[in-house]
Amino acid sequence: MKRCLTFLPFFLTLPAHAEDIDLASRVGQGKWALAYHRVGELKPLHLKHREDGTSYTCIKGDPRTKIVTWIKSKGCTIHSESMEDEVYRMSGECVLKWWPGAHIPVSVELKPENMHTFTLDIQTAGNSILGFTEHTKATLQGPCDPEAPVSAPQGKQDQNSKS
């Protein structure tokens, strides 16, 4: 019995995994404005593609499910999830629409600031040829539009720029 108690503190400090992640206490329900800045880069040639804009989505129910679905809709696959020190972390890989066919390892961090705002950062992890970063600032706008389906985006305003 003493051996089991010796390892108890170790297990209590392990990060929460997907089934234990509760974002509902950190991310409010309703219509969210997602203001994003993305940069894709072909590093050897110093070619960059930039994209800025705002999209809107409705979060009802489990925010984790909605956020994972949104990230997957970007062409990303999630391999692991954890909640550490109030930061929701994911790792996986994404396929950039600017360079299709190339799977890029990425890390994702969602940092709730309060129930009305959070930031989401996606960045490449260890790819010397292709790079990608996305910084999104999410702000709760109010209740979801009643006529919009819960799973669909509620509008999009993009200002694309290339360099």
Q: What is the pLDDT of residue 7?
A: 32
Residue that has been written with the tokens 């949104």 in this structure: 70
Give pTM, 2 decimals: 0.75
H-helix or E-strand spanning residue 32 = strand 30-42
In angstroms, the CA 144 to CA 130 distance is 37
Q: What is the pLDDT of residue 150?
A: 47
Query: Which tokens sit at 35?
Result: 């203001």
In angstroms, the CA 30 to CA 44 distance is 42
H-helix or E-strand spanning residue 63 = helix 63-73
Give the number of residues written for the chain.
Answer: 163
Q: What is the pLDDT of residue 26?
A: 92
Tens digit of each residue's pLDDT, the chain (163 residues): 443 333 333 333 333 445 578 899 899 999 999 999 999 888 889 989 899 999 999 999 899 998 898 888 878 899 999 998 889 999 999 887 767 777 889 999 999 999 999 999 999 887 778 888 999 999 999 999 887 554 444 444 444 444 3
Give the DSSP letter of residue 47: E
In angstroms, the CA 70 to CA 67 distance is 5
* Amino acid identity for residue 26 in this structure: R
Domains of the chain, CATH where assigned:
16-162 (2.50.20)
Beta bridge partners of 95: 103
Q: Are 117 and 139 in contact (CB under 8 A)?
A: yes
Q: What is the pLDDT of residue 53?
A: 96
Q: What is the pLDDT of residue 160?
A: 42
